[in-house]
């Protein structure tokens, strides 16, 4: 009887050891790419570059909008004093300038979207290299991207975001 209990205990211990070894090789971890983008030095620098671009464009927009507002106010003030022909001409000038402003605004939005995508794309490429290398080194079975829809629950110890950011900042790719 004691022999059977001893064999059973040995079997259970071997089973537990093999399960822990197997689970280590099949470990699934996750990375919060948005947090990594915001925390990485390259992400912070990209944000600064983008902010400078936004500020430059906003300054131009504010200037053009101020000119439009002044033009409209002047037109409204003087509408009764102007001849019909002059008033129509001024309104057409205003409409032309308004359309030009709207095109400029749309072009500025498109330019900013493109710039943001370009800056983000370069960092994502570097992040993927770091993540791939880390996964190979650590023998992870899978590395998921943490978003609300992708990972409903995972223990905090499975979050490798800080390690990915650290390696990216150190230039390990």
Which position has the token pair 């975001």?
161
Please give the average per-residue pLDDT across 146-164, as a whole number: 86
Q: Give the domain extent around 144.
A: 2-170
Three-class SS of residue 152? coil
pLDDT in the model for residue 3:
56
Contacts of 106 (CB under 8 A, 6+ apart): none
CA 146 to mean position of chain CA atoms = 13
How many folded domains does the chain comprise? 1
Q: Are the C-beta atoms of residues 144 and 31 closer than 8 Å to each other? A: yes
pLDDT (tens digit, 9 = 90+) per residue, 58-92? 999 999 999 999 999 988 888 788 888 988 898 99
pLDDT (tens digit, 9 = 90+) per residue, 14-31? 445 444 444 555 789 999
pLDDT in the model for residue 17:
46
Q: What backbone phi and psi angles, to 5 degrees, belong to 164?
A: -65, -45
Q: What does the DSSP assignment read for 48-75?
A: HHHHHHHHHHHHHHHHHHHHHHHHHHHH
- For residue 41, the tally of other CB atoms under 10 A from its CB is 12
Question: For residues 72, 78, 82 and 86, what is the CA-based torsion angle, rounded to 10 degrees?
Answer: -20
What is the C-alpha separation between 97 and 163, in angstroms, rounded?
52
């Amino acid at each position: 009887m004691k022999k059977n209990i001893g064999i059973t205990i040995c079997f259970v211990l071997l089973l537990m050891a093999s399960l822990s070894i197997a689970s280590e090789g099949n470990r699934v971890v996750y990375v919060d790419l948005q947090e990594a983008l915001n925390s990485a030095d390259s992400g912070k620098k990209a944000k600064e570059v983008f902010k400078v671009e936004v500020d430059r464009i906003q300054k131009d927009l504010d200037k053009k909008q101020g000119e439009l507002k002044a033009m409209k106010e002047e037109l409204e003030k003087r509408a009764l004093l102007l001849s019909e022909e002059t008033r129509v001409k001024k309104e057409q000038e205003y409409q032309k300038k308004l359309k030009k402003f709207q095109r400029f605004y749309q072009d500025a939005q498109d330019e900013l979207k493109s710039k943001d995508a370009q800056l983000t794309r370069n960092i994502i490429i570097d992040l993927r290299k770091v993540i791939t290398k880390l996964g190979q080194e650590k023998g992870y079975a899978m590395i998921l991207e943490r978003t609300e829809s992708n990972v409903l629950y995972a223990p905090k110890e499975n979050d490798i975001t800080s390690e990915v950011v650290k390696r990216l900042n150190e230039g390990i790719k």
